[in-house]
Structure 1
Amino acid sequence: MTLGTLWRTFVPLVLLLVCIGALIFGYLRLRATEKAMGFDGVTNMVWVISQTQVEALKMRAVLAEDPDDEGQIGLQYDLLRSRIDMLTEGPQFRFLQALEMAETVKAAVQPAIRLDPALRPLSAAEKAELGQEATTLARTLNRTANAAMVMEWELLTTQLTRYRTAMAQVNYSIGLGVVLAIYLGWRILADRRARLEADLFRRQSMRLEEDLDHERAMVSHWRDFAAVVSHQFRTPLAVIDSAAQRLYRRGQPASDEVLQAKQGTIREMVASLDQLVDAALLIGRMDHKMDLPQQAVQDLAPVVRNMVKKLQGRYRDREITLSLEEERFVAWCDANLVQHSLINLIDNAIKYSPPFEPVEVRMQRQDNKVVCTVADRGPGMTDAEAERLFQRFQRGAGAPTGGTGIGLWLAQRLAELQGGRIEARPRPEGGALFSLILPEAPQDVESKT
């Protein structure tokens, strides 16, 4: 560990522990002082003694004013007896023992306990004796209360001395804690400033790295595009060149049927090249995160209906049918990418299907998913072929000439970017089924639209 690291980490940690220790010590001393400053026990004892004395004096007054009123005498005696019991039991009696007045008070209350009017009716002499004992008890309690107040003042003096000492210790500990807290605050601010500067340098480095990654992505994108062009453009260009040579070969001019056929071939290959260029560019942008899906709540029913209508116009000699099980199919997707995926699937079905067989498009809902299935009546596929069909540059057995081998792979990639997938399986009555499966729109999002 270097000296700088020791100064930045170990020393502040030790100072922080000292600061916390000083504050904890001050808190504990305050708690102890708070407890020591409580006089509830002494104050309560003086009140109990005074109340017993008051009831004794009232007992004497009742006996002196109306000695024949047995009800009033009994009531007042019960009050006096309750005060006596409170005084001579539990913590009050222990306080009297600490005050060294327990035996004196006990001797003073015994005659009063003995002359209980509830046990038997008292004679006039006993009532006079009870009044005299009440007077004696009041005097004894008066002396006891004075002794309790003297003890209270002594305790107060002792506790005030302890309080001043504790307050001095608390002040010293808080002062030390404040000084250490100020130092630690300064250290934290200094370290924070150093971290901000380091973070600034880190962000600048990350920005430079991102710019470099972007340039690398651009170079990789165009390198992949060149690879696709060199790999896939040769076949369509060779077909176009062959058709052009047939049109301009020497000898007799070609018939109208041949001209029309060759023109159709050239137009088909040009359309294939155009689609291949679009696919290669889109693949590159997606692979290098230069173009991300713009997903939103979309009703795919009109989107698929319009797309099928355009393809019917493009392939006038082919039958393309569409069936919708519901009026609306709301999905969370990018409508443009969905169209691109479905066009690849339908083009693939047309390539593999015999000219007189229809291509069927069906939309349905399954397990909270929107499913668009393209069915053809071509040569079909095996399970092993179904797994390889979505790999780049892979084509099924018996594939016609002019294919690129990236249409299904691109369709799968576009579906995955939207949180969906494409499944391929053999059709029971012959041919293949390609299903584009997309998630439904979340209900909370759909309700806002």
Structure 2
Amino acid sequence: MKKKITKILIANRGEIAVRIIKTCQKMDIQTVQVYSDADENSLAVKLADETVNIGPGPALQSYFNIEKIISVAKQHAVDAIHPGYGFLSEKAEFAMACLEAGISFIGPHPETLIDMGDKARAKLIAQQAGVPVSPGSTGEILNSDDAIKIANSIGYPVIIKASAGGGGRGMKVFYDEQEIRRNYEGLATEALRSFANSALYVEKYFENIRHIEVQVLCDQEDIYVLGERDCSIQRKNQKLIEECPAVILTSDVSALIYEASKRICAEAKYLNVGTIEYLYDLNTSKFYFLEMNTRIQVEHPVTEMCFNFDLVEAQIKVASGEKLGLDQNSLISHGHSIECRINAENPDKKFMPSPGTIIKLKWPTLEGVRIDSHVFEGYTIPIYYDSLIAKIICWSHSRDEAIELMKQALGELQIEGIKTTASFHESVMADASFGANQYDTRFLNRFFE
């Protein structure tokens, strides 16, 4: 059923909140920005039409406070809530609370969030859709003995992950039985502490791989694919650099992975924007389903740059019940885009966080460069949240040209008062193996040797 959206509450902060506000302004939609004490002077608060303080700096007392956010949404008569990424974006209880309050949740149905948010359950759905999954447990494991039994049957190394995990946390690679016995309980405790769920599952760990993800968009009738991204440059399973398209894939493999993604969406009855992640084995050229992120991704701009398409606008339209009526054959990727995540961290001190006040800021102004950020001169970076302060996205006609443009953009970037990862990105852009597209997800292990 179609529902006109004229006012949206943004249940997030930082660059993604600013990103959502800009699309709302373009669509002539009013915005309500909730914020914590620590974000009182943030850019999102300055840009939004209405603002409401929802609590102290710590996220558990503010951005995770479902009851408070729903109360504000009702008081301000919003039509919908956009959760962004992180925080409550993949919490089924939040989506359900929105629906029970008569407010549209800009994302999938709560049932889908439950199914695809549980990594073990999502793997079963992928199997039911006929999509290859990496060998391992067919569901949650109960104890270390179960984990060892499965590991011995599929062969080491294996990776044990939190079923409710994400963002690179709650996972560990194991090379023998003794390691599992020593670390299993600690991993389960970490999963419980991080995700309020101690359930774990086991998968075969592939060492010579690339991390590929497919951008999907589903309305009430159709499933669309907007290409793929290569997110293989990672540190501790956290993505640092993303590209679109994944030039490592042949056209035949791309076609297969797109069809697999559509089957998963159909099996999961998926609605709105989502990303399906795969492991791509460089030894065999085979891909395996990894997980699905049921939200807008941090790295969505590289897709937007190549497809000239606003994914946030599409999210809002789908949430309003609108049929997009797109032509899949017209959704064509052009050129190449690269994104570097600029974090307030010191790469010379093992990426130690570097909170503080920005005393000088100058963004690059080159053609083909997009900056997604929430910081400004005089902005003080809070200690409570993720260290991401900006995303530099460069588009050009080829991968080589996009890399050269990124080098120029990073060279023009000036941020003083805090340490950032800009110099690290400059080093990666200058690396011969990265430039030649000859690397795997262990790239940074070798890079720091």
Q: Please identify which structure carries the higher helix content.
A: 1
Please, what TM-score do these two structures have when normalized by structure 1?
0.19
Which structure is larger by alpha-carbon Rg, 1 or 2?
1
Name the structure, 1 or 2, with higher relative contact order (CA <8 Å, separation 6+).
2
